[in-house]
A and B are shown apart, each in its own frame.
Chain A
Amino acid sequence: MPRLKTRVNNVSNLFLPLSVLVILIIINLIKGADYFKITMVNGAFYGNIPNILFGASELVILSIGMTFVTAASRGQDISIGESGAISSAIFVQYVLSSGNVTLWTILVGFVISCLAGIVIGAFNGTLVSFFNVQPMVATLILFLGGRSIAFIIDGKVSPILANEISNRIGTVIPGVPIHTPIILTVVFIAIVAVILKTTNLRLYVEAVGVNPSAARLNGINPKKVIFLTFVLMGVFSAVAGFIAVNKAGRHDSVNLLKFIMMDAILAVALGGNSLSGGKFSITGSIIGAYTIEVLNRTLLRLEVNPEAIKLFKAVFIIVLMIIASPVVRVYAKKALDKAKGIFSNYSAGQTGGLSNGAVSAADTTGKRGE
């Protein structure tokens, strides 16, 4: 029974992103019933769903990193797009300088760009954890200067990444029906899951995010944990930059992953995570990231004027945040209880199964009052 209750609670945390996802899908189905249609072109899947999974790859990876940073440091890293632009610039330079491109070249380039990501993350992490600079202020430095660094590494405007392997990483490998970025994202999520399973990352990050002082007295070094999350964020940015640059086929230091931190932060919030740190849900952030991609594509599909898309998105987010706010939730709960009361008058004893979740929620509230 306790296990079951936890499940119910976990699901209720995911209620917001999932319900938004459902609403968006319904809107899309109304627009055209062929929304889920998947076609095979040249041996690869195409359609709305594959497009969404393909498009959201970088955002999903960055949202996971942002979840860790938020949970531990109680702040956000706003330099993730720039950090990805720098590390991918280094990747491109390595690949271009090595002449004959083999899979080995790409792999070494990828590892080098991840090392660059570690350096960038360590820079941000040092400022935040050892110099106590607020995360948003600390990362503002690279947010402002990062693209210039990427441009200097490039040496010219948009170097082209024209090789067969990059093309396959950015699109499809012949014979594999699923786009490579989707596969890479799945592998990435699996690696994160393994890390969470085999280390105490979750416990340490949550303990530091909730109560750094108590964490310290239990032998955890909060500074190190916060530093670690920024280093992870740097590596994750490098991975996202790697996928983005292979997708694009060239390194556009001005536009690569531009303003993606906004979507990443939003994905974290949408996933039911508190932006002021503490307990976190990676699943929530992942669903949040895909939801944002669905939202972007829905607006395109509804033929909203591209100029106006940002406004629509803003309005949508405001509505969403109000719906999800505790104030509205309390009202909704009251209304639901009333409805249930009326319902149970008609069919007493039949609502037991339905109201279980509500009862367990009320249970904890009651306990807290003691």
Chain B
Amino acid sequence: MQSEMFLKMEGICKSFPGVRALHNVDFTLRKGEIHALMGENGAGKSTLIKIITGVYQKDAGQIYLEGRPVNPKSPQDAQGMGIGTVFQEIALCPNLTVAENIFIGRSRDRFVHWKQMNAKAAEMLDSLGIPASPTQELASCSIAVQQMIAIARAVDMDCKILILDEPTSSLDEDEVQKLFALMRQLKARGVGIIFITHFLDQVYEISDRITVLRNGELIGEYETSELPQIELISKMMGKALSDVSAIKKHEPQKSADSVPVFEAAGLSSAAGVRPFDFTIHKGEVNGFAGLLGSGRSESVRAIFAADKVTGGEVKVNGRNVKIKSPLDAMKQGIGYLPEDRKGDGIIEELSVRDNIILALQVMKGFFRPLSRKQAEEFADEFIEKLDIKTPSTSTPIKSLSGGNQQKVVLARWLLTQPMYLILDEPTRGIDVGTKVEIQKLVLKLAEAGMSLTFISSEIDEMLRVCSRMIVMKDREIVGELSGMHLTEQDVMHMIAQGGH
């Protein structure tokens, strides 16, 4: 057994002042297997990975690599042992060529042998089936290909263990498949792969075994084929199954003659969405469904005037209004949680408090700042309401986990008490527990009379909360589905048939 285990970690403990990140955790990795490391944010996945890769030093426990005890002291040290890591954010140089990115900083020669390097890179890209040319600039490759090149770079460093931390979060279905093909190929070569992701379907598609962590402790190690998905979720959350499936949709009481909360006719924006009509009633949750690039986000951005609006009429509560900027939209009681949390949502360096009060503060105006006491009260209120885990209201938001950052952005909009709230991918890259919390919150808000638009790449999630789905394809609305018993098939069908 010992010899079969490529990597074996026993009784790993790691504490930070005031936080016990890992307690007595075991982990094993076989040669040529894909092992999914699962857990919610804060479960200790990252800490475990950082101990394997030498970023942190363990407090207690043993690590064996091919039976020999090892103790990686730094990422370089770990690399020397054959442990390669590819992180979520690609750490390559976009303005260099593909070949340069693979070999940069690793040539022992003082001079670069361009021809040799390009030839070697070509050979490698070919053998791994990566569709890129060595002399191509990295920025011109798709994100998926860039991700693969990052893997190629790690693999070339003679790597025996490859750690992939959320490699698929910015890829579409097609690209994910390409990445998986590469992973399978590496697996066949005997590389042990540790795979971290929030996408459960992907875990089941590619992994051989699953290790679940929760609150820094090992919950168990399972053969993927023997662990049903719903059980995995409950193990990760530490909650009974009934909790997960208890989410019930809310049927809006819509009388035929009621005035829509928001109504748009022929709305179009500079982002290139075709003119579309859209209405939403009080207490309704609807969603824009469609594949990546279908124009879902562009449509809601047009509603919020996040992109320059180029045409169309807008009515709020039956009155004609002009919405030319996000501030106009906010003043009409519209809130918008953007798709790109890091780029458009959070203000990284600023405190949780400032991030929470931002939208309300802007609506109040430049010359009417909230007092420190008021701001503090608002922040405390929502930290409690949404169960945001933060050491204090003054903590910079960037040091919170992704799920908690998203809750802060949600709190920011809830504080403005919008009558219509747009949520674009509110659950992306967030642990299952928080996902469920957000879904429940959406339904609770709708019940209280708020109108919401909910967009997600995961159709089953949308089916759970939306009572009406607007289906998009190629930047155009191709149809609408409503009813309490929508299924994924219905939506798929419409996407497939749409466009005529």
Residues facing B in A273-288 (CB within 8 A) are 278-279
Let me know if A215 and B391 touch, CB within 8 A: no
Chain B residues within an 8 Å CB radius of A366:
16-19, 21
Nearest-neighbour CB distance to chain B for A2, whole angstroms, equals 4
Task: Give the interface segment out of A145-153, A178-186, A203-211.
Answer: A203-211
Task: Give the interface segment out of B68-76, B124-132, B223-231, B347-355.
Answer: B347-355
Say whether B326 faces chain A, with CB atoms less than 8 Å apart.
Answer: yes
> Contact partner of A199 among B330, B338, B369, B398, CB < 8 A?
B369
Nearest-neighbour CB distance to chain A for B405, whole angstroms, equals 12
**List of 4 A-B pairs having minimum Cβ-Cβ separation, nearest first:** A366-B16, A2-B392, A219-B327, A219-B362
Task: Give the interface segment out of B40-48, B172-180, B196-204, B281-289.
Answer: B40-48
Which residues on B are within 8 Å of A, measured CB to CB?
16-19, 21, 41-42, 44, 46-47, 50, 55-56, 304, 306, 325-327, 330, 336, 338, 343-350, 354, 358-359, 361-363, 365-369, 391-395, 398-401, 412
Let me know if A367 and B349 touch, CB within 8 A: no
Chain B residues within an 8 Å CB radius of A214:
338, 343-347
Let me know if A362 and B359 touch, CB within 8 A: no
Chain B residues within an 8 Å CB radius of A206:
347, 349-350, 354
Let me know if A362 and B16 touch, CB within 8 A: yes
Chain A residues within an 8 Å CB radius of B55:
369
Say whether A368 faces chain B, with CB atoms less than 8 Å apart.
Answer: yes
> With A and B bound together, what is the CA distance between A121 and B325 in angstroms?
26
Closest to A365 in B: B16
Nearest-neighbour CB distance to chain A for B298, whole angstroms, equals 14
> With A and B bound together, what is the CA distance between A366 and B392 in angstroms?
15
Interface size class of A (residues with CB under 8 A): 35 or more
Let me know if B42 and A370 touch, CB within 8 A: yes
With A216-B306, A218-B359, A219-B362 given, name 6 new contacts (CB 8 A).
A1-B392, A9-B394, A217-B304, A217-B326, A219-B325, A363-B17
Let me know if B21 and A278 touch, CB within 8 A: no
Say whether A325 faces chain B, with CB atoms less than 8 Å apart.
Answer: no
Let me know if B18 and A363 touch, CB within 8 A: yes
- CB-CB under 8 A for A207 and B350, given A198-B369, A366-B17, A369-B21: yes
Residues facing B in A7-46 (CB within 8 A) are 9
Let me know if A198 and B367 touch, CB within 8 A: yes
Say whether A359 faces chain B, with CB atoms less than 8 Å apart.
Answer: yes
Contact with B along A66-104 (1 / 0, CB 8 A): 000000000000000000000000000000000000000
Let me know if B344 and A213 touch, CB within 8 A: yes
Let me know if A370 and B21 touch, CB within 8 A: yes
Say whether A301 faces chain B, with CB atoms less than 8 Å apart.
Answer: no
Choose among A215, A368, A370 the residue with the greatest number of B CB atoms under 10 Å from its CB.
A370
Choose among A200, A218, A369 the residue with the greatest number of B CB atoms under 10 Å from its CB.
A218
> With A and B bound together, what is the CA distance between A362 and B56 in angstroms?
13
- CB-CB under 8 A for A203 and B21, given A219-B362, A367-B391: no
Contacts A/B (CB < 8 Å), 30 sampled: A1-B392, A5-B394, A200-B368, A203-B358, A206-B349, A207-B350, A207-B354, A210-B347, A210-B349, A211-B343, A211-B348, A213-B344, A216-B306, A217-B336, A218-B330, A218-B358, A218-B359, A219-B326, A221-B325, A362-B16, A363-B17, A363-B19, A363-B391, A364-B395, A367-B19, A367-B391, A367-B399, A369-B16, A369-B21, A370-B41
Nearest-neighbour CB distance to chain B for A158, whole angstroms, equals 42
Nearest-neighbour CB distance to chain A for B479, whole angstroms, equals 29
Let me know if A211 and B56 touch, CB within 8 A: no
Nearest-neighbour CB distance to chain B for A346, whole angstroms, equals 21
Residues facing B in A228-286 (CB within 8 A) are 278-279
Closest to A279 in B: B349
Closest to B43 in A: A370
Closest to A9 in B: B394
Let me know if B362 and A2 touch, CB within 8 A: no
Let me know if A370 and B367 touch, CB within 8 A: no
Residues facing B in A342-370 (CB within 8 A) are 359, 362-370
Chain A residues within an 8 Å CB radius of B42:
370
- CB-CB under 8 A for A203 and B369, given A213-B343, A219-B325, A364-B391: yes
> With A and B bound together, what is the CA distance between A59 and B366 in angstroms?
28
> With A and B bound together, what is the CA distance between A317 and B45 in angstroms?
43
Let me know if A6 and B394 touch, CB within 8 A: yes
Closest to B393 in A: A2
- CB-CB under 8 A for A211 and B17, given A2-B394, A370-B46: no
> With A and B bound together, what is the CA distance between A364 and B392 in angstroms?
11
Chain B residues within an 8 Å CB radius of A279:
349-350
> Contact partner of A219 among B46, B50, B330, CB < 8 A?
B330
Let me know if A369 and B46 touch, CB within 8 A: yes
Chain B residues within an 8 Å CB radius of A192:
none
Closest to A2 in B: B392
- CB-CB under 8 A for A215 and B306, given A364-B391, A366-B21, A369-B21: no
Closest to B398 in A: A368
Say whether A299 faces chain B, with CB atoms less than 8 Å apart.
Answer: no
Chain A residues within an 8 Å CB radius of B306:
216-217
Let me know if B344 and A217 touch, CB within 8 A: yes
Let me know if B47 and A218 touch, CB within 8 A: no
> Contact partner of A210 among B326, B348, B399, CB < 8 A?
B348
Chain A residues within an 8 Å CB radius of B400:
367
Let me know if A219 and B359 touch, CB within 8 A: yes
Let me know if A210 and B350 touch, CB within 8 A: yes
Let me know if B367 and A199 touch, CB within 8 A: yes
- CB-CB under 8 A for A369 and B50, given A203-B369, A210-B350, A214-B344: yes
Closest to B306 in A: A217
Nearest-neighbour CB distance to chain A for B477, whole angstroms, equals 23
> With A and B bound together, what is the CA distance between A211 and B338 in angstroms?
14
Contact with B along A316-357 (1 / 0, CB 8 A): 000000000000000000000000000000000000000000
> With A and B bound together, what is the CA distance between A363 and B400 in angstroms?
12
Choose among B17, B55, B348 the residue with the greatest number of A CB atoms under 10 Å from its CB.
B17
Nearest-neighbour CB distance to chain A for B209, whole angstroms, equals 24
Chain A residues within an 8 Å CB radius of B336:
217
Choose among B19, B50, B56, B349 the residue with the greatest number of A CB atoms under 10 Å from its CB.
B349
Chain A residues within an 8 Å CB radius of B412:
218
> With A and B bound together, what is the CA distance between A204 and B50 in angstroms?
37
Say whether A112 faces chain B, with CB atoms less than 8 Å apart.
Answer: no
Say whether A220 faces chain B, with CB atoms less than 8 Å apart.
Answer: yes
Chain B residues within an 8 Å CB radius of A220:
327, 362
Chain A residues within an 8 Å CB radius of B338:
214, 217
Chain A residues within an 8 Å CB radius of B344:
211, 213-214, 217
Chain A residues within an 8 Å CB radius of B327:
219-221
Chain B residues within an 8 Å CB radius of A367:
16, 19, 391, 399-400
Chain B residues within an 8 Å CB radius of A221:
325, 327
Chain B residues within an 8 Å CB radius of A197:
369
Chain B residues within an 8 Å CB radius of A219:
325-327, 330, 359, 362-363
Let me know if B399 and A5 touch, CB within 8 A: no
> With A and B bound together, what is the CA distance between A210 and B345 in angstroms?
12
> With A and B bound together, what is the CA distance between A365 and B304 in angstroms?
37
